[in-house]
Each structure stands twice: as structure tokens, then as C-alpha cells.
Structure 1
Amino acid sequence: MEALMLPTSSIDQEREVQNRLVTPQNTLAPSVRLQGPLEKAYVKPIVTLNEEDAVERANDRAYKISVLKLHGMAVAEGKIQLLKRYIVCVFQTQVLLMYRSREPKAWLASNQTAKTKTFKRLALSENTRETRRVKALAVRALYALGLDYGVVTIGIRPGIKAVVLDVNPGPLLNQEMIRQFSDAVCQYIRKLPQLLTDLDQVVLGADPEFIMRKTSDGKLVMASDYFPRFGRVGCDAIWHGQNRSAKPLVELRPKPTNDPRQLVLRMYQGMMQASRRIKDKKVQWLSGALPHPGFPLGGHIHFSGIPLNFKLLRALDHYLALPLVMVEDPKGIRRRPKYGFLGDYRVQFHGGFEYRTLPSWLVSPTLTKGILSAAKLVAAHYPVLKGRHLHRYTVQKAYYEGDKEGVRTIVRQLSEELQRLKSYPRYQRDLAPYFRMIGSEKTWNESRDIRSVWKLPPYRS
């Protein structure tokens, strides 16, 4: 399939963009190549929307089903009952349009429907639990297949269970779709010059979690007994058992900064604050992915000062999530794919976003300093980074299964690439030990009290 050549000089001529984006058959061009001054400055995936190999794979239904299931999504197979269906137009992280079927019930059998369905356009401001799920699932399905845009069809089963019916990178279009997709492509083109940013422009925040457990009987200690719901050290919203006020997860919320080392210092100060409240040596502080059954932990990193798009998320998956496979405790693999799925993000009220794929990296100061420094480098330089291994099903599978052997060579290549960046020396002090740790083949121990490695009271010497 030949990619569509779209000159960047046409960004102010939307009619011309539409003419190039829409085929003579009135379908969306399945792949778009952006030709212009930045074509040589950036790697090919940045100036290509819907890479051709991703489109080819997405048109293979068997492959599509296997990938979506690997990422933890419900997919329609065979004959199932649907209460309704949604058609969702997606460009990267944006839902452009939504349509919902009018009929009360529909049936799907081998991707065919018993009769023609009619659809009503929905306001994107509709914010019911169902529409939120549909939007999130549509974006997630498109991302999992390595695409940048397309139309995703979602079905609703009894019990408000959303299921992916189809993902189409080259759908038939109506006039609304043509306008929305054209505008989205134009916006992406306009932002291209700003994708490669100055290091100091990238501001980082974080909210890593840990959990507390008694050494005597293994029972959880509730964070809500010691910390408020909000604050620099607080408890996460997840509750334990039937008591919604009993919240077991401790969350550090340091003030954002453009200096990764300063962010680590603020987290350490938060842990010192927590240690003054909990001095009992018989209470363990545990971190990682899943140190206690049923309570997966996250090491979410917040970004601001840079635009959010699929290209950045894929870089974070490659250069942050894949390397952690090499050092994670095998017990933590069970966190995925319900949590820790690739490309997991959440837009924040301040205009930035949080990357949510990673487990809690508080297991080690070396890991903490390294992962945040790497996050800074990736966010600033991702338009020139070449990693695209996660387009392959085998590499995705290795990630979800925690297959260290399956990603070892890839991780080494990715680490070496970051070390070749001109900005690397600025963070070498923290990244060099981190890369040695990643390459050491030693795994973290989620049963170890993190106060000992952070030298916090009562372990501080």
C-alpha cells in the first residue's frame, strides 16, 4: 500500500488536506506520510500517521483479535447479544466523533448484522459511565494495534460490558468525519515543529505508591489510619474490603519540577514525613508491582510542558516500561494487563498528563532516579528515537508475560540509544547506575522493606 504524501505547506488549506486525506471512494486514506522540512529531522514514525505495516496487520481479523485480547480488552468473537453499539472516530488520544445505535437490541454473528442499523450522533460532552468506558476502550484499541487514527466500533453487552467489535483504519466517511479527521491531521502537522523540546521545558511530577503490612501476620496496615486523603503524602482512593474509608495504599505526591533529582529529593522528604508517623519496625513498607495480592501498585509519572500524542506514549512504553521487565519481581507480572497495560495514560486538569503503565519504582533509589531521568530524556527527544519494537506481537507478548529473555537484546539497544543522546551527560550521574542495574539480570524483591534501601527511620544509620 502506497502512503499518501501530504505536504506540510498545506496546513492552512484545509480543502486541499481533505482532498488528499480522502480517497476517490470516499474512504479515509489508511496511511499518511507527511512530507516537508521536518521529514529528515525526525524519525519516520513521527512523520507517518498509520504506518503501512500496522495497517496491514490491523486488516487481519485474527491478528486484530489476538492483539486486543493480549492487551486485556474484550473482543467480539462469534455470535453475541448486544444492547447497542457505538461508532467512535479516533485520532490518537482524541475522540473526534461518536455515534450510538438507535435500536434497543442488535446481534453480531461473524461480523455481520441481521439488519441495517441507524445511528445518532452524540455530544462529546456526554459523560455517563458507559460513554466514558466506550471512549477509553476505543482509544486503547487503536493504540494497541499500532495505529494513529481510525474508526472503532464498540458493542455494549448486558451488564454495561463494553466489547470491541472492529477497528478500521480506512473507513467509509460522511461529511462530519471528513471535517474532523482533516482538522485533526492539520493540528498534528502544526504541532510538529514543537515536538522536539528543550529539556528544561519538560516538567515532571509523580505519585508512586507503597503499601504497609505487618510482619507478624501479613495483614495490611491501612494508610488511611495515618494519612489524609489528599496532601504531599496521602492515601489512594482504593479501599479494602467493604469499608470504603479503609484505604491501604500510601501515595507520595511531590511538587512537580523540571529537575528529576529534585523530584527524587521531594519524594524522599515525603517518605521521611511518613516515617515520623509510622516508626514501627514490625510494619513493612512494600513497593513494586504486586507486593500484596489484590492491590497492584503504580509508579505514575506526570508530564507537562509537552503535547500528548501516541508517538510520545509509544516512546515511553519502549524506553521506560520495557526496561523494567528486566528487573521486576516475577510475582508482579500478575498486575498486567488489567493494570500496567501499554500506553496507559490519564489527562490531568492542569493540561498535562500522567503515564500510568509503570509499577511503583520506589523499590530502589537507583531505579527511582534512573527512571525519572530517562523519562525526562525521552519526553524531550522522542521525535529522534528509533525504538519501534513493540509493533511486533512477539515483543508485546514478552512484555505482558514478563519474558526477560524476549526483551533483553531490545532493552540493551534502547539503553545504548539513550546514552548516545547529546543530553545524556546531563543525567549520566543517575542514568549510568540505572543502566547497570537494568543489565545486571538481578530482580527487585517486593517482599523487602523499602525503608532499608532508602535509609529511612528506623533503619537509617
Structure 2
Amino acid sequence: MEPIQLPIKSSGDEQALRSQLVTAKKMLVPSIRLQGSPDHYAKPLRTLNDADAVERAKEKGHRVAALKLHGLPVAEGSIRCLRRYVAVVFQTQVWLLYRSREPKAWLAGNRSSVKQGFRIIPSNESNREIVRVKRLCIRALYALGLDYGVVKVGVRSGNRTVVLDIYPTPKLNREMENAFCQAFTQYMGKLPRLMTDLNRVTLGADPEFIMKKENGELVMASNYFPRFGLVGCDAIWYGQNRSARPLVEIRPKPTPEPRQLVIRLYKGLIRASQRVKTNRFRWLAGALPHPGYPLGGHIHFSGVPLNFKLLRALDHYLALPLVLIEDPQGVKRRPKYGYLGDFRTQFHGGFEYRTLPSWLISPTVTKGVLAAAKLIAAHYPVLKSGYLQRHTVQKAYYEGDKEALRSIVQDLLVELKGLKGYQQYRNYLDPFFQMVLSGKKWNESKDIRLVWKITSNRS
């Protein structure tokens, strides 16, 4: 199956775009190769719905295995549902959502059946179920390596959501046609501006750590820190006590400069030490230094638009390298946490990338991750690697298979070194890359204050 060739300039003519996106049988074209300026963009950026990914997605066995690998609930046969949803998805957004009118309604292939069995949910209608359904639809599409399609989700007893089916080449009614045309038009209109100057990318972060007593008992962050502020406690609570919160977050003010962000993180750690005032606790970072409490190293981006292409670049050039140096216990964090492409939009218009473990494990890792994040965000349209389209590479990531990923990561780092702008941050990136390729791994039982050279004035 060859992708259709779609000139980028056609985005200005809605009728011309519609005629190329929708076949005579009212089906969405399965795969698209974008042509025209900017000519230097790499194949992953120019391809929407990789043709091989589409073919794999049509195979039920692969579809089920891939969704399970990513930790997604998926129906393997016919199941009873209280409600069903049908979503028109383009990358990180659900553009149109239908909900069944009755428990046994099902989306058929013609227009009339959609109107009879389902109703459109107004874009301003939202509740917890709708939010969960939309998130599941986007995650499912991403997990299969697709950029657009129709996703069917069911809601079972206990408000459990489950993926029922995914259609990379769905049959469309008029509303679906309109939604996809709007989505494509918006995306293609942004294409010439996806490459940006390094100085326009602003970074923020909220990495986490925990504190443990000498006997291994968790120390509650809520005993020392407020809920909000530069240093605060995360919303996760301990056991049944919702006021007991064990995770500490450092929340530096965003800045375009990675060096400044590292300094602000360091000052946050110093402030935390001033509040705790004892050296009797170990401060631990990484992925899973205490069972049941996975840690994250979320990075916030603004000044760069969110799309699947950027998320996939971050997965390749940040998430995969960190596997090589993570503690082997860190694999247990995935796939409930740390799954590929994990993001959350922010009220200020930016987004946070949530896949990474807590890189506060050392200054070298912190500096390298933040510098690489900025470099990737500014230049991802020219990055060429698509290793994570392979099921085997995804499996290696989720299973923490360092040997399977080592040669891949070597190629990825070579590509990053060739980017314009690498030299600007090579003092941070070179030591980080050397660590990644050294064969060493971080120790999640080691107090991070030692490597950050932070001590308390009290015992």
C-alpha cells in the first residue's frame, strides 16, 4: 500500500484537500506523504499514518498485542458494554466524539446508522468519563504508530473503559469528513513553522524524589512541605490517609535556558534541605526507589506546538537512552507509568512530557536530559529515526532490555550530535552521552544529596 502524495500547499483549498483525503467510497485514505516546502524535513515528519503501521493495525492479533504492551485495556472478543463511544482522532486531539444512545448500539458503515445509534457529544460537554475516553482514544492511536483514525471505546460496569476497535481507514459521514479536513488543514498550516530557534523553546520541570528512614520506612513529604510552591508534595497519598503524601516535587520557574533551569532545581533542593534539617533520611530519585511509588521527571514545554511527531522524537532520543542507565528495578514502573508518548496539556498553552523517570538521580543526568529536551524540541522535524515503529523495539523499552537497545541508542545519539545547536550545549550533552554508553547504571538506593553536594546543618 503506497501512501498518497499530498502537496502541503493544498491545505489552503478545502475542497481540493477533501477530494484527496476522502475516496469515492467515502473512506479516509490510509496513509499520506506530504510534499513541498519545507524540503529539509525528514520522512517521519512528512508521513502521516506510516503505511506499515496501517497494515499492522489492521491485524487484530498485532493490534491487541500492541495495546496490551502499552498497558491499554483492549477487548479481544465480543463484550457487553453499558455505552460505546466513537472518536475521530488526529494526533493529540479528539475532533469529534459520538456516544451510543442505547447499550447495544453499534456503529455500522453507513451514515443513517450513525445517526440512529449514536449522537454527537457537544465539544463543550465534559465529565470524567468523557475525559477518560478521549485520553484512551489518543493513547491507543499513538500506541499503534498512527497519526489519525477512528477509535471505538466501550464503557463497562464499574466505569471501566476498553478499546473495542481502531480504524485507520474508516468510512466517513459528513461530520467526520469535516472534522478530519479541519484537523489536516490546521496541522499542515503549522508545518512551515515547526522548526524553531533554540531560544524560543521554554522549559519547565517538576521532578520528584522520596525520603526514606534508615529502616526503609517512607518519610511523608507532607510533614515538611506545603502542597504548592517551589518545593511541594505531590498529590499521591500514602495508604488510606489522603493527607499523608510521600512524594516531593521540585518546581522551578520555567526558563529558555537549561543551565538556568538546573540552577533553579539546585536551589529547590537546597530549600528542601533547609526545611527537612536532618541527614538521617536518604533522598532517592530514579524510577522506582520504593515499591508502589514510581517517580517521574516531567518536562514542561512552551514555545513549540504539541503533536505526535514531537512526542515520538522525545520517546526516541530521551526515553530510550535513559533505559541504558536506569536501575533494573525501574522497569516495574512501566507501563502504568512511563509509557511512551505520555503527555498532559497545560492551562498556559504548553504541555508536559511525562514518560521519563526522575532524572534528579545526578547533576550529569539532569543537565543532559534538559539540554537534549530543548535540542529535540527545536529540531525534531529533521530527525530521521523511526525505530519505535517496530513492535520489538517497543517491547525492549517496556522490558528494559538494555542490550537490545544499545546499538539503537548509539545511532540516536550520533544523530543528535549532528544537529545544528548541539555545540551550544555540548558541555552538558557530551558527559551525559558518555554515561549512557558507558554500560553503567544509576543506583536508586543512593542518597542524591551526595552527588548534588547538599548537606544539612543538623544531624
> Does TM, normalized by the shorter one, top 0.5?
yes
Of the three residues 322, 325, 332, the one matched with 2:323 is 325
Q: Does 1:36 align with 2:36?
A: yes
Q: Is 2:36 the counterpart of 1:22?
A: no
CA distance in 2, matches of 1:241, 1:24: 57
Residue 12 in 1 paired to residue 22 in 2? Answer: no
Determine helix, strand or coil for the equivalent of 2:80. strand
Question: Which residue does 2:110 correspond to in 1?
Answer: none
1:332 CA displacement: 1.1
Deviations 1:287-346 (A, max 9, x none): 011101111100000000000000000000000000000000011111000000000000
Alignment of 1:339 with 2:350, yes or no, is no
| Cα separation, 2, equivalents of 1:16 and 1:60 | 32
How far apart, in 1, do the equivalents of 2:2 and 2:415 lie?
Answer: 30
Cα displacement (A) at 1:437 = 0.4
2:377 aligns with 379
Q: What letter matches 2:52 in structure 1?
A: D
SS at match of 2:225: coil
For 1:229-308, what aligned pairs fall within 5 Å after superposition?
A: 229-308=227-306
Point out 4+ residue stretches in structure 1 off by more than 6 angstroms. Answer: none
Q: Report if the CA contact (8 A) 1:202-1:303 is conserved.
A: yes
Counterpart of 2:117?
118
1:102 is displaced (CA, Å) by 1.1
Any conservation in 1 of the 2:326–2:442 contact (CA below 8 Å)?
yes
Tell me the CA shift for residue 106 of structure 1: 6.2
Instruction: Describe the shift of the 1:76–1:107 C-alpha distance in structure 2 as closer, same or farther (beyond 3 A).
Output: farther
Q: How does 1:349-428 map to 2 (within 5 A)?
A: 349-428=347-426
- Separation in structure 1 between the aligned mates of residue 17 and residue 151 of structure 2, nearest angstrom: 23
Contact 1:154 1:163 (8 Å CA) reproduced: yes
- Gapped regions of structure 1 (runs ≥ 5): 109-114
Distance 1:248 1:320 in 2: 27
The residue aligned with 1:77 is 76
Query: Equivalent residue of 1:11, what SS?
Result: helix
Letter in 2 for 1:68: L
Change beyond 3 A, Cα 1:202–1:293: same
CA apart distance, 1:137: 0.3
**Structure 1 residue 6: Cα displacement:** 1.7
Partner of 1:129: 128
Local SS of the residue matching 2:359: coil
8 Å contact kept, 2:100–2:106: no
Cα distance 1:459–1:194, how it changes in 2: closer, same or farther (>3 A)?
farther
Q: Which amino acid aligns with 2:92?
A: T
Deviations 1:113-152 (A, max 9, x none): xx99711110122221111110000000000111000000
Conserved 8 A contact 1:26-1:172: yes
Deviations 1:261-291 (A, max 9, x none): 1100000000000111112221110101110
Q: Distance in 2 between matches of 1:23 and 1:137?
A: 28
CA distance in 1, matches of 2:213, 2:253: 30
Q: Aligned letter for 2:382?
A: V
SS of the residue corresponding to residue 80 of structure 1 reads coil
* Equivalent in the alignment of 2:47: 48
Paired residue type of 1:375: A
1:242-275 Cα offsets, whole Å, 9 max, x none, are 1111111100000001111110000000000011
Q: CA RMSD in A?
A: 1.5
Report how many aligned residue pairs link the two structures.
452
SS in structure 1 at match of 2:344: strand
- Whether contact under 8 Å (2:302, 2:350) holds in the other structure is yes
**What is the CA-CA distance between 1:81 and the residue it aligns to?**
1.6
Judge which range, 434-443 or 29-38, deviates more. Answer: 29-38
- AA partner of residue 398 (structure 1): A
Matches of 2:447 and 2:198, distance apart in 1:
34
2:436 equivalent in structure 1: 438
Q: 2 CA distance for matches of 1:106 and 1:333?
A: 40
> CA–CA distance in 2 between the matches of 1:352 and 1:174?
33
CA contact (8 A) 1:79 1:107 kept: no
CA contact (8 A) 1:318 1:390 kept: yes
Q: Which amino acid aligns with 2:27?
A: T
User: Could you tell me how far apart the structure 1 residues matched to 2:125 and 2:447 are?
Assistant: 45
Match of 1:3 in 2: 3
Contact 1:80 1:107 in 2 (8 A): no
Instruction: Return the alpha-carbon distance in structure 2 between the equivalents of residues 279 and 411 of structure 1.
Output: 41
One-letter code aligned to 1:67: A
State the secondary structure of the residue aligned to 2:361: coil
Measure the CA separation in 2 of the matches of 1:232 and 1:87: 41
Q: 1:27, CA displacement in angstroms?
A: 0.4
User: Structure 1 CA distance, aligned partners of 2:65 and 2:381?
Assistant: 29
CA distance in 1, matches of 2:188, 2:79: 41
Q: 1:107 Cα deviation (Å)?
A: 9.2
SS at 1:246's partner residue? coil
| SS of corresponding position for 2:360 | coil
Q: Percent identity?
A: 63
Asked if structure 1 preserves the Cα contact closer than 8 Å seen for 2:74 and 2:164, the reply is yes
| Inter-CA distance 21–106: structure 2 relative to 1 (3 Å threshold) | closer
Report the equivalent of 1:156.
155
- Residues 227-251 of structure 1: CA deviation (Å, up to 9, x unaligned): 1100011110111111111111100
